[in-house]
Chain A
Amino acid sequence: MRHRRTVLGLGLLALGLGLTACTGASGSSSSSTGSTANSTDKPGGTLQVVQGTSPDSLDPQFSYTTQGAEADDMVYTPLLQYAVKSGTAGTQLIPGLAAALPTVSSDQKTYTLTLRPGLTYSDGTAVKASDFTHAIERACKISWGGKSFYTGYIAGAAAYDAGTASSISGIKTDDSTGQITITLTQPYGAFANLLAFPSSAPIPSSTPMKVLSNTPPVGVGPYKFGKIVPNASYQLVKNPSFAGFKIPNIPTGYVDTVNVTKNTNTNTEAQLVLNNQADIFDPGDTVPASVLSAVQSQAKARYQTVPLASTYYFFLNTQVAPFNNVAARQAVNLATDRTALARLSSGSLTPGCFFLPPTIVGHQNGSCNGADPNTVPSAADVSKAKAMIKAAGLAGTKVTVWSETRSPRQEFCAYFNDLLNQLGFKSTLKVIQDTVYFQTIGNQSLEPQAGFADWSQDFPNPSDFYLLLSKAGIQKVNNENFGNVSDPKIESQLAALLPIPATKLSSVATGWQTLDTYVADQAYVDVYGYQTAPKFMSNRVDFNKAVFNPVYYIEFSTVELK
């Protein structure tokens, strides 16, 4: 009997292998991730997107990751949104569901907007002004990761969040006129940016106050959600009613369906796009070094690296030795070889030394403290830096460099640790698990001296970056100003710059540049580069037409199949 089962088992295996051999890997699979892009499903076609990480959630008032925002950006048009353009132009705020940009009161504490008339959600329900209030209250109630932006600035939001008020007093709406008036607790220039979060997009007021990851609420956008398998895949289906609203400068979409599937193996993810078995490689992932050369040679016309608003730097604790001494900070800035660090990143980093990254108002290129990040070979001057450390009497000072485990961040810190030892410090590397890294170095009781840090924009506004170098960012736990930078000059400049409304940011670009230059001169941080992301698509897609927006990355509504 046992013998017969064995034969049956071998037979089944042979059958499996035989069937596989017969059908081969023709790519006709409709598997969860391995499906081939099929160009003739529907008139507009179906787009196949592969991504290494699933969105945390598709619920707009809960999702707080790039992958989630990329999807929600297509489904939930907020009152304001970013121009659907590539590069810096894509950071400009334009009216979304609001008829125009907000009117701001003279004390810069009251924002007034009016909804466009005749808007409906994808299920046909009419959009009301009070739906905006519901969205903000829901984001607070179900603990959206960025809710501090609301509770920190909208009058009454903190009380609502704490449960001491039944609604947010600072938001007044009129459903008959569509008018929305928001009162802030203090002037906050970036407030218009908050209105462009998908979490700020109106949703029906009947939406329950719980996270709806499986069945996100309906929205107003070029697409609506189709089938969702949390942690595996989701589908965007064209919303036919959206084109009827004729909202200027917001594309209504080309393809009928976008299938987004998770593939945890980035090698496979890249190979699928390289072989045109999938259409879009998720920009949130890095093309593995093992596939990169093939991509650059075989798919040159459909691969590009795009600079992101994301700064990579080593924080230097200005409150403890040795980096409470400006000479020590300037020395490490001078000695840091930024081109070497870019090489360690396998091309996912552009060298730079200013704190504000590309696409952010105030960003500038050039040299800082005598070190030019764009010089090849590098202009890093270790000998001069070593002499500076010696002259300051800091040689031999013990330093601990904190690092995450993941690559290439650990490699960056290993380099930095070696550099500090070369300069005369007695440096050791302390590597801790990624998930608890920022909480650990954000705990002031540990007095972290130096280590890895990065910041990716929440929204394209320099104020989002300068929270990290302002006194307001210093906290006992969950500290984000890791270097504890507290400089009266920075504070006074921020006091002048922060209230400027986001819609008028370009008028103060010089002010931000001056501040950024001052920070570089004081070497408060050791910036070494800015992250880049891959724009990598199949040959079925019109590569040049597809917009890579600096905030929400690939705008699916601009992707057209050839």
Chain B
Amino acid sequence: MDIAIFALKRLASAIVVLFAVSVLTFLIFFAIPNGDPALRLAGRTATAQTIATVRHDYGFDRPLWVQYGKVMKQILDGSIQSYTQHVTVFSQIKRGLPATLSLAIGAAIIWLIVGIVLGVIGALRAGKATDVAISTFSFVGISAPSFVLGSILLYLLTYKLRIFPPGGYTPITQNPIQWAEHLVLPWVTLAVLYIGVYAQVLRSTVLDAMTTDAVRTAHAKGLSPTRVMIKHVLRVSLIPIASLWGLDFAAVLGGSTLVVESVFNLNGVGQYAADSVRSLDVPPVLVITLLGACFVVLMNAIVDVLYAVLDPRIRTTTS
């Protein structure tokens, strides 16, 4: 029962957050100095009458709250259209989503696996040359902006050595081999940053776990080092990694793929968002922001509820 109330409270707060995000995103476009959408849509040589007609046709002459209500209604019934291209926003998102999901899921699997492997090795070889090498790799990965790393990989492995194709996306349903071919470099580019973070976080938590009483007792009981590592160290150490992964994955889907998509021309949702922001096209930006926020809020809620299930103290404190 406590869990149900807790979940309902989280749901209610999620709705408030989404409402706030939608209002803020909507207002930002009207707060931009000289950002009048009617002026942009009417063209550079537009007369005062043309601007007035455009303003009326698009409803920009209505009060802000009416415009907000109209836009939200169109979002909910799926009919919302881009101002600059006049295509349904959801059709564009549907077109770009497979590329974005393929990129995000693939990269998330890579960074989780490689991050865990490197984190454990780093902890087990703490202070030795391997640990130093992994730490160095991690910091380089964390520091390298994805557009730099992606461009370098493209230059070396595509333009020079011609191992990988020059960007673009092929649907998995069309040709799974080409799907993988096109995504290897974007996966690596996106994953490297997170691999560094995960390796360092896990190294630290594993080192902490290895010095706990429970682990010392397990060793004293004569359990094999592998068994101790898996049952007593990793089990504890991976809990923060799991929640971190959930939130990072949500953040990636919420917009972090943007740069990688542009560098590798994946033409996904991130790229669509970037194009829309550049042209100050309110509807797509609003929809993509809301979807991103939904995903982040949802993942947050799931993590919170899971934590509450795992640790009753959180439930009590929150209520």
Chain A residues proximal to chain B, CB less than 8 Å: 3, 6, 9-10, 12-13, 15-17, 19-21, 23-25, 27, 29-35, 56-57, 59, 62, 64, 142-143, 145-149, 151-152, 158, 161-162, 210-211, 213-214, 229-232, 261-265, 267-268, 271-272, 275, 277, 433-436, 438-440, 442-443, 458, 467, 475, 477-478, 480
Contact = CB atoms under 8 A, between A and B. Distances in A.
Given A33-B267, A34-B167, A213-B86, 15 more contacts: A24-B163, A25-B158, A34-B166, A34-B168, A147-B50, A151-B50, A231-B267, A264-B265, A264-B267, A268-B154, A439-B35, A439-B36, A475-B47, A478-B39, A478-B44
Given A231-B272, A264-B262, A19 B54 contact: no
5 contacts: A20-B164, A21-B163, A143-B42, A145-B43, A232-B267
A62 B91 CA distance: 19
A146 B50 CA distance: 10
Contacts of A151: 47, 49-50
A264 B150 CA distance: 14
A339 B57 CA distance: 46
B69 interface: no
A263 B265 contact: yes
Interface stretch (B176-184, B198-206, B289-297): B176-184
A151 B184 CA distance: 53
A25 B113 contact: no
A506 to B, nearest CB: 25
Contacts of A30: 170, 174-175, 178
Contacts of A277: 166
Contacts of B32: 433, 436
B44 A438 contact: yes
B45 interface: yes
B48 interface: yes
B264 A265 contact: yes
Contacts of B44: 438, 478, 480
Contacts of A20: 163-164, 177, 180-181, 184
B271 interface: yes
Contacts of B230: 3
A9 B167 contact: no
Interface in B195-233: 230
Nearest to B180: A16
Given A16-B183, A20-B181, A475-B48, A271 B159 contact: yes
B13 interface: no
Interface string B153-164: 011001100111
Nearest to A146: B43
A264 B99 CA distance: 15
Contacts of B170: 29-32
A29 B164 CA distance: 10
Nearest to B50: A148
Interface residues of B, number: 68
Interface of B: 32-36, 39-51, 53-54, 57, 84-87, 91-92, 95, 109-110, 112-113, 116, 151, 154-155, 158-159, 162-170, 174-175, 177-178, 180-184, 230, 262-265, 267, 271-272, 275, 278-280
**6 nearest CB pairs, A to B:** A31-B168, A211-B86, A145-B43, A34-B168, A33-B168, A16-B180
A32 B168 contact: yes
B166 A161 contact: no
Contacts of A262: 265, 267
Contacts of A442: 39
A458 B43 CA distance: 12
A31 B272 contact: no
Contacts of A57: 85-86
Contacts of A143: 41-42, 53-54, 57
B162 A25 contact: yes
A3 B229 CA distance: 13
B47 A435 contact: no
Contacts of B271: 264
A435 B109 contact: no
Nearest to A467: B45
Contact of A162 (B46, B49, B109): B49
Contact of A263 (B35, B113, B151, B167): B167
Given A29-B178, A264-B265, A477-B39, A148 B87 contact: no
A29 B113 contact: no
Contact of B151 (A32, A34, A35, A267): A267
B39 A265 contact: no
Given A25-B158, A435-B40, A230 B165 contact: no
A6 B109 CA distance: 9
A402 to B, nearest CB: 12
B265 A29 contact: no
A213 B181 CA distance: 32
Nearest to A458: B45
Contact of A23 (B39, B49, B53, B181): B181
Contacts of A230: 85, 87, 91-92
A230 B45 CA distance: 26
B190 to A, nearest CB: 14
Contacts of B53: 143, 161-162
B86 A25 contact: no
A265 B154 CA distance: 11
A430 B84 CA distance: 27
B50 A32 contact: no
A405 B181 CA distance: 36
A330 B112 CA distance: 64
Contacts of B110: 13
B45 A436 contact: no
Given A33-B167, A161-B53, A232-B267, A9 B40 contact: no
B264 A213 contact: no
A289 B271 CA distance: 23
B36 to A, nearest CB: 7
A10 B116 CA distance: 12
Contacts of A438: 44
A161 B84 CA distance: 20
Given A57-B85, A439-B40, A9 B109 contact: yes
A435 B167 CA distance: 28
